[in-house]
Structure 1
Amino acid sequence: MEREQGVATLTHIVVLPVPMQGHINPMLQFSKRLASKGLKVTLLTTSSIIKSMKGQASSITIEPIADDTGDIETAETMEAYVDRFKVMFSRSLGDLIEKNKSYGYTTKLVVYDCILLGTLDVARQHGVGGAPFITQSCTIAAIYHHLYQGRIRIPLEEPAVSLPSLPLLRIDDMPSFISQPELYPALLRLCVDDFRNFHEVNWVFCNSFDKLEEEVVSWLSTQWPITNIGPTIPSMYLDKRLKDDKNYDLNVFKPNVDACMKWLDSKEIGTVVYVSFGSLATLGEEQMEELAWALKRSNSYFLWVVRETETKKLPINFLEETSERGMVVTWCPQLEVLAHKAVGCFMTHGGWNSTLEALSLGVPVVSMPQWSDQATNSKFLMDVWKVGIRVKVDEKGIVTREEIELCIKEVMGERGTEIKGNAMKWKKLAREALDEGGSSDKNIDDFVAKIVHT
């Protein structure tokens, strides 16, 4: 074992995420898992992101890519940003390989965010292999693969889509890049082009676990080497085998940790609705108002994350009128909140990271999807995994206060017992996947064994 560990520590892996919090967090957590198995892992990201990190990921090395790629949020197009990022990465990768070679480390592989097109070609130019990392679900990967293969035609003409290994999907269950292609043509191309070289690699990593998406994983394994390694949640919330892995090491917002947790501590078990729509989703003023008054009318306690740039959309006097039952913060430690006994429901946009966190911590959901993969995730949360309810949108595209109130009361009321039972089942299965001998743990072990001896 000691000899194997010695060989492993001389094997170097580079991890390259898109420099956005929702993409970095899962790849950073995967990096920690690889390091715990004995590999030397370097995560490459921009210096501006590194400044936002807490510096607690001591098991891995974090190196900067030059920041003259600009800010991803202000780039003229995502495609242009990816092209610039590729140039800077190529230079950084070459320097990193040479530096590690001088220390006796052999760089074997670049694990890269799958939307960073061309990374595999860059890695090969430096004599290194590549493996894409999918930060969304296997289901979303399968849908885009079907589109790439021509099994889905855009614009969608039928009211529902039937695809191998997937439930019948209505148009509004599909990713918004497909259901509304005229709004996101560049992002759709980026997602579909991901798959052009998946058949050329030995691993396609995905932030999921086998039992969560059994049928689609079985089907995908006939297309390319899908390898589930998730859920990529800090170890203390799952198997507890990684010491000091208590949180994500990146937070671009300053969380109100003490205020949130002290407030939750004062509430009884399962009485709080936690509301958060992630780091990117933006609600219109009318929708914000409907949500605000729905929370007030629900008669539940609520903890609502409203980003600082969004607080101006809150109704006049809302904070004063709800001060006894609600707390509004600009950010909070989501994992700690979801794990708190007082939280009985998570109202979410249904992003994949938030979806996995809810499933891994056994929290029922009310899902209000906004864009991208969120509608599909919400379909599965409600109809496949049966851990929550998806709100219905009216003819104006608004979710009314009455609809939101109804969904919250349903999840927090009598039906909530059945939903909570399903949520706890998935919590157990998520933990098992990453515990010793679990499906994701074995996949990671198999990968380490093979990469060390290639």
Structure 2
Amino acid sequence: MEQQGEIGKKCHILLLPYPAQGHINPLLQFGKRLAYHNLDTTLVNTRFLSNSTKPEPGPVNIECISDGFDLGGMNAAASRQAYFDRLESVGSETLSDLIESLRSRGRPAHVLVYDPFLPWAADVAERSGLRSVAFFTQACAVDIIYRHVWDRQIEPPVTTGPVRFPGLPPLEPSDLPSFVTGSDPVVNPDLLSLVVNQYKNLEKADMVLINSIYELEHEEFDWMKSRLPVKSIGPTVPSTYLDNRIPWDSHYGFNIHTLDTAHYMEWLDSKPRDSVVYVSFGSMASLSPDQTDAVASGLIATKKSFIWVVRTSELAKVPADFIRESAGRGLVVSWCNQLDVLAHPATGCFVTHCGWNSTTEGIGLGVPMVGVPQFSDQTTNAKYVEDVWKVGVRVKTDEKGFVRGEELERCIKEVMDGERSGEIRENAKKWSELAKEAISEGGSSDKSIMEFIDECCK
């Protein structure tokens, strides 16, 4: 440990996330792990996000660059592509300026850990004389799929299956990320480019980090390691919920939503073990009014206690009589501390969109899941939840992608009371223990973090 401390005093690491909550927190959490080993770490945020939120980064410093829209962020851009273009041009320039400013202030940076959603960052690092390390925020399986699109080994939109990739189970089109199947590649070509271009400039990276667990995806990691200097460093969940080695790392440091002040934790305390359904579709998904109504009817039909996170912007879609019908056994909150809810012994089922951060939280805390994927990588994550890790089930949709209330009811009951519920709970417990071992001292992810320090901070 003393040796690492000596290295840390000489090594300053910049952390550059794509400017969205689901990308910022994993890199910030990685920064906290590095700070624990006495490294000087700085999160590079956009001015817009820093001005519109109140980050709590702990020992990680914060510096800002511009995305070209300091007053409004992406919403101020004419289109997503216009935002991406401006982020690259202005972001490159202001990142270079920041690196020079830090040098002049006596805190020169040595390593740039960047989100490959921003491949231009590797060019900035090269011009500035910094080592560059790519930090993938999604599952290794998803990264492999995008690698095959980058290599032109598959051509979107994929409409027939099964599709076979090395290290992955056979996948139907419905199991693939939405950006490479169905209508998404046509409707959202800018997003397809964003995820596939993660491999642009990757040959310049000194190392590639993936926010996952080797034991969770060992065949996938083995394939990636045969092609890139890859290391697993996940899960990037606050330490107090996993290995508890870092007592001050008890929460994520970045939140675009205000926590609801409802007394949901006291309410959970009054419920029996494994009896509560927790429902959250993340910080971005927007359900249609009909889909919201179907979720509501499914929850009522289960006759189980529940907490349903409905963001303030979505509340008007909740049926008017839902609160009355569910009074006494259901809570609707606008936002909450998801980790505290998942860690509570009363929580017995997590109905999730299967975003990667939420999926790794469910795995790390051992909560059985019902996957209701919406778009992006969530479909692939849901496939793994049900068929690979076997820690939950995935809802079936109709031909229009709609989830009926009866189907949600069926899945919740299957996870909590069905014939497979015992097996699912055992699997959830097994993977939770493996996730905690991975990030604990001497575990696979902990070793990878120490190797990053040894190799990049010499």
Q: TM-score range by the shorter chain?
A: over 0.9
In the TM superposition, 1:284-363 aligns within 5 A as 284-363=288-367
Matched to 1:445, the amino acid is M
Once the two structures are TM-superposed, the CA of residue 51 in structure 1 deviates from its matched residue by 4.3
184-193 or 377-386: bigger deviation: 184-193
CA deviations over 1:251-295 (Å, ceiling 9, x no partner) = 111112551111111111111000000000011111111110110
Q: 1 CA distance for matches of 2:396 and 2:443? A: 37
Q: Identify the residue that residue 33 of structure 2 maps to in structure 1.
A: 33
Give the Cα–Cα distance (whole angstroms) in 1 for the partners of residues 255 and 159 of structure 2.
42
Identity level (%): 46
3-state SS of the aligned residue for 2:200?
A: helix
Query: Normalised by the size of structure 2, how large is the TM-score?
Result: 0.95
2:139 aligned residue (137, 150, 166): 137
Q: Distance in 1 between matches of 2:80 and 2:131?
A: 25
Q: What letter is aligned with 2:267?
A: W
Q: Secondary structure at the match of 2:354?
A: coil
Alignment match of 1:242 (pick from 217, 233, 246): 246
- Supply the AA of the counterpart residue of 1:289: D
Distance apart, 1:324 and its partner CA: 1.5
The code of the aligned residue for 1:417 comes to G
Whether 1:222 and 2:226 are equivalent positions in the alignment is yes
* Paired position in structure 1 for 2:91: 89
1:388-424 residue CA offsets vs partner (Å, 9 max, x unmatched): 0000001332111111111111111042221011001
Matched residues in 2 for 1:240 and 1:289: separation?
40
Residue identity matched to 1:97: I
More displaced 10-residue stretch of structure 1: 7-16 or 251-260? 251-260
Cα deviation code 1:117-142 (max 9, x no counterpart): 31111221222222211111101000
Paired position in structure 2 for 1:125: 127
Give 1:452's aligned residue: 457
Unmatched segments (≥5 aa) in structure 2 = none
Amino acid at match of 1:222: S
**Stretch moving more, 201-210 or 363-372:** 201-210
Give the number of equivalent residue pairs.
453
- Residues 428-454 of structure 1: CA deviation (Å, up to 9, x unaligned): 01111110011111111011112221x
Question: AA paired with 1:412?
Answer: M
Q: Which stretch shifts more, 54-63 or 245-254?
A: 54-63
Residues 332-341 or 109-118, more deviating: 109-118
Which of 277, 280, 284 matches 2:281? 277
RMSD: 1.7
The equivalent residue for 1:158 is: 160
Distance in 1 (CA, whole Å) between partners of 2:226 and 2:359 is 26
Secondary structure, counterpart of 2:425 in structure 1: helix
- Give the match for residue 422 of structure 1: 427
The amino acid of 1:387's aligned partner reads V
Whether the 8 Å CA contact 1:50–1:64 is kept in 2: the answer is: yes
Q: Does the residue aligned with 1:378 lie in a helix, a strand or coil?
A: helix
Partners of 1:151 and 1:403 lie apart in 2 by 36
106-115 vs 323-332, greater mean Cα deviation? 106-115
Match of 1:372 among 370, 376, 396: 376
Q: What TM-score results when the alignment is normalised by the length of structure 1?
A: 0.96
For residues 74 and 363 of structure 1, the distance between their equivalents in structure 2, rounded to whole angstroms, comes to 39
Residue by residue over 1:199-230, the C-alpha shift from the partner in whole angstroms, topping out at 9 and shown as x without a partner, is 33221111101001000100011121111111
What is the CA–CA distance in structure 2 between the aligned matches of 1:219 and 1:319, rounded to whole Å? 49
Q: Which runs of 5+ in 1 are unaligned?
A: none
Q: Deviation string for 1:109-165 (max 9, x for gaps)? A: 111111113111122122222221111110100000011112212232423201111
Amino acid of the structure 2 residue aligned with 1:141: D
- Structure-1 separation of matches of 2:318 and 2:187: 27
Cα distance, 1:371 vs. partner?
Answer: 0.3
What's the counterpart of residue 175 of structure 2? Answer: 173
Tell me, what secondary structure is at the counterpart of 2:436?
helix
